[in-house]
């Protein structure tokens, strides 16, 4: 085919012809077509974690998932000739309800192939709770403000990471056998007039009870925090973290690799508490989410649920 046939009877200047031909050769993003399978729920509750599964039979050079202003490159595993990835996402307790885009970018044969769909985030049901604690744990003295801000900065910096390794598996371990007490998301009133939200799940755990890691991972923070008391934060990989608070004693150090079920500390009553117990928090890509679905069969069910909304890639 001649340049005249390509561009009509009137030839373009040679420079413009070269630029156009160069652009035609660039590996521009294209739709995923039937090359990449992405499975995710059509709708979720605010503050609830959910599972995303990605798979392809094609040679995968790179994979990125973009969600709610964050991105992660999930670890891929090979099952025969098929490449697969599993990751956890969610909208945090203080996130907004509405329609959220979920975008998967897969690089195959030098081209970025883009899958994009939406997940509807609706409101979840929240309870209420009234508690009495030491006054300094409700209205901290001025001398503690710098410490409290440093605690927040440490957590923000740790949770900003999304490590490429995935240490967690579908088998998640309950951290302690005790009864679940205060649920995630509760509207709390402290000492009669100070409102707050509960950003974790409390378990009954008498003083000195062993506390176990809910999944394998890397210990990234072991500190005594003003509100959390003795705290252990574990990076389970791909943006998934768990945090155990109010411990009487910690049994791990920053940088340690732990296995699922390994003892990371003993329960206690440090920080803002009414008595000895475990406060367990969970985070996905920096968003605090409800830990309970990891233990009530919801997450394991999603990992095996065939009826989840799978992309038709159109």
Report yes or no on 17 lying in a domain: no
Claim to verify: residue 118 and residue 173 sit in the same structural domain? no
The pLDDT value recorded for residue 72 is: 96
User: Nearest Cα to 45, choosing from 115, 126, 117?
Assistant: 126
Q: 46 with 105, same domain?
A: yes
Report the C-alpha gap between 314 and 309 in whole angstroms.
14
Q: Are residues 224 and 294 in the same domain?
A: yes
Among residues 312, 308, 304, which one has the least CA distance to residue 40? Answer: 308
- The number of distinct structural domains making up the chain is 2
**204 and 295 belong to one structural domain:** yes
Q: What pLDDT was estimated at residue 258?
A: 98
Q: Which residues of the chain register pLDDT less than 70? A: 1-33, 304-314
Let me know if residue 170 belongs to a domain.
yes
Measure the CA–CA gap between 20 and 47, rounded to whole angstroms.
48
Kindly state whether residue 18 falls inside one of the protein's structural domains: no
Any domain includes 9 = no
Question: Which pair of structure tokens corresponds to residue 301?
Answer: 């069910």
Residue 293 resides in a domain: yes
For residue 142, the 8-state DSSP code is G
> Do 160 and 249 lie in a common domain?
yes
Q: What is the CATH number of the domain that holds 245?
A: 2.70.70.10
**In a shared domain, residues 243 and 294:** yes
| pTM, to two decimals | 0.85
Residue 281 CA to residue 233 CA, distance in Å, equals 9
| pLDDT reported for residue 13 | 54
pLDDT, tens only, 272-291: 999 999 999 999 999 999 99
Q: Please report whether residue 2 resides in a domain.
A: no
Q: Is residue 173 part of a domain?
A: yes
Q: What whole-number percentage of the chain has pLDDT above 90?
A: 70
Torsion of CA 304, 203, 249, 212, to 10 degrees: -20
Helix/strand/coil for 85: strand
Domain contains 235: yes
* Same domain flag for 147 and 118: no
Three-class DSSP category at 11: coil
- The pLDDT of residue 192: 84
Same domain, 45 and 117: yes
Listed in sequence order, the residues at least 6 apart from 85 whose beta carbon sits closer than 8 Å to its beta carbon are 53, 54, 55, 63, 74, 75, 76, 77
Same domain, yes or no, for 83 and 165? no
Same domain, 112 and 150: no
Claim to verify: residue 154 and residue 237 sit in the same structural domain: yes
CA distance 67 to 287: 11
In terms of domains, do 231 and 293 share one? yes
| CATH code assigned at 50 | 2.60.40.10
CB atoms within 10 A of CB 5: 8
Q: Residue 240 CB: number of other CB atoms within 10 A?
A: 27
Could you list the residue range(s) of the whole structural domain that residue 114 is in? 30-124
Cα separation, 181 vs 205, whole angstroms: 10
Tens digits of per-residue pLDDT, 178-189?
Answer: 999 999 999 989
Q: Give the model's pLDDT for residue 308.
A: 40
């Amino acid at each position: 085919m001649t340049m005249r046939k390509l561009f009509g009877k009137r030839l373009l200047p040679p420079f413009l012809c070269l630029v156009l031909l160069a652009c035609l050769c660039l590996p521009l993003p294209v739709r995923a077509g039937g090359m990449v399978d992405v499975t995710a729920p059509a709708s979720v509750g605010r503050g609830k974690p959910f599972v995303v599964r990605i798979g392809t039979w094609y040679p995968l050079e790179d994979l990125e998932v973009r969600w709610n202003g964050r991105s992660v490159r999930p670890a891929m595993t090979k099952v025969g000739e098929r490449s697969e990835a599993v990751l956890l996402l969610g909208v945090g307790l203080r996130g907004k309800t509405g329609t959220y885009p979920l975008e998967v970018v897969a690089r195959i044969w030098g081209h970025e192939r883009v899958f994009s769909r939406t997940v509807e985030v609706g409101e979840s049901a929240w309870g209420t709770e009234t508690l009495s604690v030491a006054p300094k744990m409700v209205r901290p003295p001025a001398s503690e403000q710098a410490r409290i801000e440093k605690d927040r900065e440490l957590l923000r910096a740790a949770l900003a990471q999304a490590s490429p390794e995935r240490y967690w598996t579908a088998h998640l371990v309950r951290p302690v056998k005790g009864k679940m007490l205060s649920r995630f998301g509760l509207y709390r009133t402290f000492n009669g007039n100070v409102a707050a939200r509960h950003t974790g799940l409390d378990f009954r755990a008498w003083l000195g009870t062993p506390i176990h890691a809910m999944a394998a991972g890397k210990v990234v923070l072991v500190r005594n925090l003003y509100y959390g008391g003795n705290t252990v934060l574990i990076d389970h990989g791909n943006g998934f973290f768990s945090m155990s608070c109010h411990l009487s004693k910690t049994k791990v150090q920053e940088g340690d690799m732990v296995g699922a079920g390994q003892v990371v500390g003993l329960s206690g009553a440090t920080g803002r508490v009414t008595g000895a117990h475990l406060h367990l928090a969970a985070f996905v890509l920096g968003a605090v989410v409800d830990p309970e679905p990891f233990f009530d069969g919801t997450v394991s069910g999603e990992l095996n649920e065939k009826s989840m909304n799978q992309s038709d890639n159109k």
